[in-house]
Amino acid sequence: MIDVVKGDSQESARNKAIILILLDCGIRVSELANLKIDDVDMKRGVIIVMGKGSKQRLARLGLKTQKALWNYMVYRKNTSPWLWINRNGKRLTATGVQQMIRELGWKVGIRLHPHLLRHTFAISFLRNGANTFECQYALGHSSLEMTRRYCQALSFDDVFKRHELASPVDNALSK
């Protein structure tokens, strides 16, 4: 899917940065669309996200995502306080992001929507070693109930791999 957004334009740089932020941070499409330039701290590699219920949290940007966002910022010449700009130089709305992602999905032959990227983030985050509380914070959930739904997608293989790294006995006796 990232190959579809390659190109030398502000729009392709923007689309790549959007896809990577959604996959890397697991933020909601509305949270992404509401980002302002001032919400980006490139030195620390974080964005300030305003979640549901006006709850603010930080989201870390991985190095590849930071690079994609930096690339977009180089192209971006607009003086709008909003981070994401559409073809007309106006603020890109959540609906615009949803439409862009659906169109990218069509190009690669899959049914794609922003929440699927959020779901992919959550499952990958857990599979890569995050615990449910870390996942809860990253997703901006106020309770573990919603986060638990993502945990149900994990399998024995996921637990087996984690146990290889986190076995209490193996780790205690290897020291």
Identified catalytic residue from 52, 148, 149, 161: 52
Active site residue 119: no
Identified catalytic residue from 64, 107, 115, 161: 115
Q: Write out the E strands in 11-145.
A: 40-41, 46-50, 56-60
Identified catalytic residue from 111, 150, 163, 175: 150
Active site residue 137: no
Q: For residue 41, what are the contacts with CB-CB under 8 A and spacing of at least 6?
A: 47, 48
Identified catalytic residue from 14, 16, 28, 72: 28
Distance from the Cα of residue 154 to its chain's centroid: 19
Active site residue 75: no
* Residue 53 to residue 80: CA distance in whole angstroms: 25
* Residue 10 to residue 56: CA distance in whole angstroms: 28
Active site residue 163: no
Q: Which two tokens stand for residue 41?
A: 């701290």
Provide the annotated active-site residues: 28, 52, 115, 118, 141, 150
